[in-house]
Amino acid sequence: MSVFTAARPSATLWIVATPIGNLEDIAPRAVRVLRQAAVIAAEDTRHSARLTRPLGIDTPMLSLHEHNEQARTEQLLARLADGDDVALISDAGTPLISDPGFVLVRAVRRAGFPIQSVPGPCAAIAALSIAGLPSDRFVFEGFLPAKATPRAARLAELAAETRTLVFYESSHRIGKCVADMARVFGAERQITLCRELTKLHEQSVSLSAEAIGEWLLADDNHRRGEFVLVVAGAPVRQETTPSLDVDALLAELLAITGTRPAAKIVARLTGMPRNEAYARALEMASH
């Protein structure tokens, strides 16, 4: 239980998304909320001033980053208790997505203050939306471990994942990361690499893991900037049901229908090739 109670119900923590490159992507509602808040908590206040100053936002800012988030959380809870609206932004994109803010949001929620989002840019979602890979289900993995051994171990854990995978990567490790993916996921695994999204030198290429590695080596500029890797999931394995079950199913079906429809149903239900199911149905029907 928290000692803080809301002085007035309107004291709200606003989680505000900011551009991932192109400053035109700031939402009008984000500008209004940032103007009206009593304080903006920003990962790097000098960096964020480059966004806020030209927009005429003169709300006081204080830093909130991974090294001071706990202490800032106490301060910001006190501000909310005083009735002040607080806005949280990060250097780029949506706060909390591979960025600070979780400690604050959890504490504010536990303390019972309202939290509202002003959604907007997020590199992972922008990349997924242009990757040309299945987007109905996906896994956001964020950054892989920086060191080679834990990175390979994490990739091995993900090798059989059938959903599309989304990774963040920096220019320092992009080459090694793609090489590891080709080794662990297989050279043929499809990857869409998105570089410098929404910026002047934006590029996206969709190739096999091996070919993405070659593309990165082909030009020094290809390894510069910020990256999202959208990786195709592993192929879904069609498990065939043990033959005993197939036989039992066929026996039931053959009692009510012919060999062809029975084989068709068994093939559809078990993943068994239709000609095999038909051969087995013929064999059983002849006994």
Residues 146-205 touching ligand SAM, rule: CB under 6 A, are 168-170, 194, 196-199
Residues 38-77 touching ligand SAM, rule: CB under 6 A, are none
The three-point CA angle 163-192-159 to 5° equals: 40
How far apart CA 202 and CA 228 sit, in angstroms, is 12
The 3-state DSSP class for residue 193 equals strand
Between 92 and 104, CB nearer to ligand SAM = 92
Residues 206, 132: contact at Cβ < 8 Å? yes
Instruction: Tell the smallest beta-carbon distance from residue 239 to ligand SAM (Å).
Output: 36
Does position 99 interact with ligand SAM (CB under 6 A)? The reply is: yes
Strand 138-143 to strand 164-169: parallel, antiparallel, or no bridges (unpaired)?
parallel
Detail the DSSP E strand segments found in the chain: 13-16, 39-42, 61-63, 86-89, 115-118, 138-143, 164-169, 190-195, 203-208, 227-231
How far apart CA 32 and CA 10 sit, in angstroms, is 16
Instruction: Tell the smallest beta-carbon distance from residue 18 to ligand SAM (Å).
Output: 9
Instruction: Tell the smallest beta-carbon distance from residue 246 to ligand SAM (Å).
Output: 47
Between 4 and 138, CB nearer to ligand SAM = 138
104 to 143: interface string for ligand SAM, x by CB under 6 A? ------------------xxx-------------------
Choose which of 42, 227, 231, 259 interacts with ligand SAM (CB under 6 A).
Answer: 227
Residue ranges binding ligand SAM (CB under 6 A): 20-21, 90, 92-94, 97-99, 122-124, 168-170, 194, 196-199, 226-228
